[in-house]
Amino acid sequence: MLSFFRSDDAQSVTTPVSVAFPSSVDLWYQIGTIESMAMTLRLTDDEADALRTRAEREGRSMQDVARQAVRDYVERESRRDLLDRVLDSELPRYAEALERLGQ
């Protein structure tokens, strides 16, 4: 279950998440794959309200909006990491030329 909790509040909005397990537990341990997993996301009142509002405006579930936000974040940060690695490896090669251009 993926649960959204309001901070300092016992109420929660719970959205079920399907979890697929292989038919054999031994196979599951050998392959080590789970198609989806459950987690708890604790949000402040303002975050929960903003998420609920965004989901209602888009006609989507809070879960779908939150999952898309996670995918967008991971993709954005992965691109940033790749760019940083490329710059770290390639920039020294052009350091002298870049310094002359800066003069």
Assign 3 a pLDDT band (cuts: 50, 70, 90). very low
User: In sequence order, what are the residues at sequence separation of 6 or more whose Cβ sits closer than 8 angstroms to the Cβ of residue 22?
Assistant: 28, 31, 33
Q: Which domain holds residue 40?
A: 2-102
The count of structural domains within the chain is 1
Q: Is the pLDDT of residue 7 over 70?
A: no
Calculate mean pLDDT across residues 74-97: 83
Share of the chain above pLDDT 90, in %: 31
Q: Where are the alpha helices (DSSP H) in 4-92?
A: 25-31, 45-58, 62-90
Calculate mean pLDDT across residues 14-21: 48
Residues 82 and 85: their CA atoms lie apart, in Å, by: 5
Per-residue pLDDT tens digits for 41-84: 899 999 999 999 999 999 999 999 999 999 999 888 888 888 88
